[in-house]
Structure 1
Amino acid sequence: MTSRNTKTFVATIAAVSVLGLAGCGVNDADVVSQNIATAADNFEINRRIIIINNESDNVIQLIEGWCNAEIEPDAIRTTCKVPGGYHKHINGRNAHTTFSIQQLDTANVSKDHYRVTFNPSVVIPDVEVR
């Protein structure tokens, strides 16, 4: 292929790719929404999260900071990065109660390594000594 044919070929492939993506339903708002969610997962979004009791209309908890929120049917779990560590809060409701679990002190945990804890009775066999 000549240089001109190569440029035309590359331009055609690029145009077809763009049209293909447009046909897939990808739009700017979806991309931005996903990027914000990813940024929040990495503690890059400063948020105000307000937890309200729907029966009494009272505020149960107000959480502000660099936070991620996981919303489940019966609970909202927030993890926030604060100076010196992290806080995790859990708020929920069922048919009879509304609850709020607030972490009072920072947890100095690693964001780069997983923590695994084993139950010694499962790992170490029961040994009988005579």
Structure 2
Amino acid sequence: MRNITKAATVVIAVALLAGCDADDAKIAARNVSKAADQFEVNRRIVFYNGITDRYMLSIEGLCSVETSQSGHVLHVTCKVGRNQFKKHMLGLSDNVTFFVEHLEPTTASMYHYRVVFKPQSILPDIDFRGSVGAAIDAITPDSSD
């Protein structure tokens, strides 16, 4: 319990110290991005071909957007139901670009950082493949030890 308290104190201290140096626009932008990553913002993501001057694809909904480290792949995850999601991965090239539009205004504080803590994400959701007997054998100490 002490470790959790220490960790929470460190997280709060880092957030407070980080807030001392940021301007209002950066804090608000971070909070809007956090809201979008929590599937709270209705967005339109459009892919545009610069050579043909045509829209190639449009995705609308409660979507989170992330670019790959190389910058050539865009990952779009959309919430389509209570516990239902769709993930799209789209390749980008020198003639294909994209833009993300927020379809509605988002309420965000420019004075307070938004922190989302989900304790259930600390414990992984484990999928087990195999027989029950194999699982029991794996966790039962071997009598020859």
TM-score (norm 1): 0.53
Aligned counterparts of 1:88 and 1:34: Cα–Cα separation in 2: 23
RMSD of aligned Cα (Å): 3.8
Q: 2:76 aligns with which of 50, 75, 78?
A: 78
| Residue of structure 1 in register with 2:35 after alignment | 39
1:29 alignment partner, SS class: helix
Instruction: Give how far 1:117 is off.
Output: 7.4
Q: What are the superposed Cα offsets for residues 21-75 of structure 1, whole Å, 9 maximum, x if unpaired?
A: 2xx2x11110011111111111011101101122222212101000001123111
How many equivalent residue pairs?
A: 89
Residue 63, structure 1, aligned to residue 59, structure 2: yes
Instruction: Give how far 1:83 is off.
Output: 2.4
Name the amino acid aligned to 1:33. Answer: A
Higher radius of gyration, 1 or 2 = 1
Name the amino acid aligned to 1:88. Answer: K
Name the amino acid aligned to 2:72. Answer: D
The structure with higher relative contact order (CA 8 Å, sep 6+) is: 2
Give ranges in structure 1 of 5+ residues lacking alignment. Answer: 1-16, 99-110, 119-130
Give ranges in structure 2 of 5+ residues lacking alignment. Answer: 1-15, 97-119, 130-145
Q: Where does structure 1 differ by over 4 angstroms across 4 or more consecutive aligned residues?
A: 111-118
Aligned counterparts of 2:72 and 2:128: Cα–Cα separation in 1: 27
Aligned counterparts of 1:82 and 1:67: Cα–Cα separation in 2: 9
Name the amino acid aligned to 2:67. Answer: I
Where does 1:16-55 land on structure 2 (aligned, <5 Å)? 21=20, 24=21, 26-55=22-51
Name the amino acid aligned to 1:83. Answer: G
Distance 1:36 1:94, change over 3 A: same
